[in-house]
Amino acid sequence: MSEGSKVSAGGGKKRYAMVVDTRRCIGCMACQVACKAEYDTPLGVNRTWVPYKVVGKYPNVKKQFLPRLCNHCEDPPCVRNCPVEATFVVEDGGFVLQRYERCIGCRSCMAACPYNARFMLPSHRTYTPITNVVDKCTFCFHRVTQNLVPACVQTCIGRSRVFGDLNDPNSEVSYLVAKNATQVLRPEEGTKPHVFYIGADRNTTEFGRDAYKKVDVMEPERAAFKKHFKL
């Protein structure tokens, strides 16, 4: 990732953010696929993912989607914890990025991230030599510096994901954050995330008591996951 790429053409610094309007998310997972295609993210790991919970009682049931990605925090614990400054914040734009060539693979950043946004790349990949280091969502830094929006935003069919500069009062994200009640994930951690949710349900954003009661049907899936993806 080039640190030298300019984000702001002039004037003040930018602070990019994403607004995820969960009311508009239909759970098509196109964002997840677009991200996979953009980065050739290996099997078993994701830069963005869309978990859901089925809530309500039959026949009044619905799926609560919560698209997830790196929150590009203002005060990122991963940056504080990296012993070799392999992860850093781009001051102009607020991107939290990774220096692959410097990462030693100690996984300290993974342990520090409250959002599970980081993952270890496997040792073998087909199209890129970037292996055995920690990876994460970059807010599509390479696209944004070319005046494009992130791949997940570009592909979002319901316009659930909106991306822009929070410091620009005329941007759509500024408008959405100003005019709607928004939530961030795990605000108690003090990380000041820059992914804002509209209409996120507490069933999906908080640890519910049912987290301990593992759903039986999930166990074979978890076992298969562990067997096939030795990450």
Partner 1 sequence: MGDYVWFHDVSWHASYAVYFFVIGILAGLSFISYGSWRTPALRPLREKTAYASFVLLALGGLLLIADLSQPLRFLNILNPAYLNFTSPLAWGALNIVAFSIASIAYILALRKGDEKNGKLLALITALLALGLPIYTGFDLTVHQSRPVWNTPIMPVLFVALAIASGSAVGALLAAGNTEAQKVLREYMLWSAAAVAVMLVSIMGTTNYGGSASELTFMIMTTGTMGLLFIGVGFLGGSVAPAVMLFAPMGKSQSIVLVSALLILAGSAALRYVLLMAPQQLQTLY
Binding site for partner 1 (CB under 8 A): 46, 49-54, 68, 77, 80-86, 102-108, 110-116, 119-120, 123, 132-133, 186, 189-190, 206-209, 211-212, 215, 217-218, 221-222, 225-226, 229, 231
User: From the CB of 81, what's the least distance to partner 1, in Å?
Assistant: 5
d(CA 169, CA 167): 6
User: From the CB of 141, what's the least distance to partner 1, in Å?
Assistant: 21
Q: Which is nearer to partner 1, 45 or 143 (CB)?
A: 45
Token digits of residue 156: 């979002």
Using CB atoms within 10 A of its CB, is residue 89 exposed (0-12), middle (13-18) or buried (19+)? middle
3-state secondary structure of 166: coil
CB atoms within 10 A of CB 50: 20
User: From the CB of 63, what's the least distance to partner 1, in Å?
Assistant: 8
d(CA 224, CA 88): 34
Q: Which is nearer to partner 1, 82 or 90 (CB)?
A: 82
User: From the CB of 134, what's the least distance to partner 1, in Å?
Assistant: 8
User: From the CB of 153, what's the least distance to partner 1, in Å?
Assistant: 20
- Where is 21: in which H helix or E strand? strand 16-21
Q: Which is nearer to partner 1, 52 or 175 (CB)?
A: 52
Q: Which is nearer to partner 1, 154 or 231 (CB)?
A: 231
* Inter-residue contact 113 to 77 (CB < 8 Å): yes
Q: Which is nearer to partner 1, 24 or 186 (CB)?
A: 186
* Inter-residue contact 51 to 68 (CB < 8 Å): yes
Q: What backbone torsions phi and psi does residue 86 show, to the nearest 5 degrees?
A: -75, -20
